Amino acid sequence: MSDAKKHPASPWLSVIGIGESGMDDLGDLAWSLIAEADHLLGGVRHLAMIPEDSTPNAERMIWPSPLSEVYPKLKALSGQNVVVLASGDPMEFGMGGTLARHFEWTEMRVLPSPSSFSLAASVLGWPLNKVTRLTIHGRNPATILPHLLPGAKLLILTKDGSSPAQVARLLCERGLDQAQLSILERLGGEKEKIIETTALALRDAGGALRFDDLNLLAVSLPAMWDGWLPTLAGLPDDAFEHDGKMTKRDVRASALAKLAPHPDALLWDVGTGCGSIAIEWLRAHPSCRAVGVEPQEKRRAFATHNAEMLGVPSLRLLSGTAPDALRGEAEPDAVFIGGGLSDDVVNFCLKALKPGGRLVAHAVTLGSEQLLLSMFDRHGGELTRLSIAKATPVGPHHGWKASMPVTQWAFVKPV
């Protein structure tokens, strides 16, 4: 068994979390790191908490805009004593996690304070293991939509004082007028304040209710309501706007089961149409990614609208046809081919697919079915014929109405 990874004796990049009470809550190690810092980086509010005479030798730096400029600046300071000031727990939707994507973990030291989530849970009496933690700071508020589930409790980091009203409007648009909201301002400090209301009351208040920019929003959803949507594959077809050309619910659920979404996985959706496959892929896990290829502008508009309305605005759409539109794209973990099926497209996607990746292709015409039969003969995999029939009115009775059968080829690329 290999030895556990350890930090070096003196990591040069320290990230220190600060609560609303400021520097009074910091321990001796945090104070010594600040006092010995060559460079002190943070927002205006955090830097103002540090007395000038406590950091006589430190260059003070404010976060640049855009933030991406900070990473090369920090890399240039490697080996010097750099202290980054952050809010609460820097590893909870914070700067610690962001910096960890750009620097080796062995170069860093993180000293957290209690996170806003922990403070809110202690005030509300909500066990954190039963709460969904989200952020709309720097993100589209629509990303909360997949988490609107019966009985759910949400803790949401906000952007500013206008965020609670934005969320209230979204909730009301989904029929959740009576969702219970708590706006928690300046948690952990002397000015801590909690305002309780409903989504409807906050929406109707317009600009009459003003909140501190430092707030966290708690949302308690009812046990049940009409029209809620699960995160498992197989959303109702009427959840999407489309022109009739889409992968229908039962067939879509089968395809997604074989595509097997998992954290941080990238999907190529070839022939995206209204985006149903890519959207359900993205709803499966918050870190999933998807690129859709669709030549028709009208269908790209449907896909963009559906992605926003179903809470996954990160769907990236390419105008054009495969394989040309996909050249230069990152290698996918999964590929779905629902349109534009050809020998060139399948071979290009198979070559690009990561080892262990999955490809699912659908055919409804005899010619495209023949192509999938040849791919099955050549590469193996799983070949399935999906035939769905639904009960429909026949006079005063009901009878079975069959949809056009779909031939499905599913393939897993050898590792």
214-250 tens-digit pLDDT: 999 999 999 999 999 999 999 999 999 999 889 999 9
How confident is the model at residue 9, as a pLDDT? 53
Percentage of the chain lying above the pLDDT 90 cut: 90
| Residues 123-163 pLDDT 10s | 999 999 999 999 999 999 999 999 999 999 999 999 999 99
CATH 3.40.1010.10 in the chain: give the residue spans.
13-113
Q: What angle do CA 172, 174, 176 make, to 5 degrees?
A: 55
How confident is the model at residue 24, as a pLDDT? 80
CATH 3.40.50.150 in the chain: give the residue spans.
237-412
Contact indicator for 335, 348 with CB cutoff of 8 Å: no
d(CA 90, CA 110): 7
pLDDT band at residue 57, thresholds of 50, 70 and 90?
Answer: confident
Instruction: Tell the CATH topology of 118-220.
Output: 3.30.950
How confident is the model at residue 7, as a pLDDT? 47
| Residues 249-284 pLDDT 10s | 999 999 999 999 999 999 999 999 999 999 999 999
Strands 193-198 and 215-220, how do they pair? unpaired
What is the average pLDDT value for the chain, to the nearest integer? 94
CATH 3.30.950.10 in the chain: give the residue spans.
118-220
How confident is the model at residue 109, as a pLDDT? 97
Comparing C-alpha atoms, which of 360, 371, 368 is closest to residue 409? 360
Task: For the chain, give the number of residues.
Answer: 415
pLDDT band at residue 4, thresholds of 50, 70 and 90?
Answer: very low
Contact indicator for 250, 361 with CB cutoff of 8 Å: no
Among 50-54, 84-88, 106-110, 198-202, the least confident range: 50-54
| Residues 153-178 pLDDT 10s | 999 999 999 999 999 999 999 999 99
Q: Where are the beta strands (DSSP E) in 338-375?
A: 358-363
How confident is the model at residue 198, as a pLDDT? 97
pLDDT over 60 at 2, yes or no: no
CATH assignment, 237-412: 3.40.50.150
Instruction: Tell the CATH topology of 13-113.
Output: Cobalt-precorrin-4 Transmethylase; domain 1 (3.40.1010)
Distances (CA, A) of 177 to 73, 174, 206, 228, 390: 47, 8, 15, 13, 35
d(CA 13, CA 71): 12
Contact indicator for 145, 134 with CB cutoff of 8 Å: no
How confident is the model at residue 209, as a pLDDT? 83
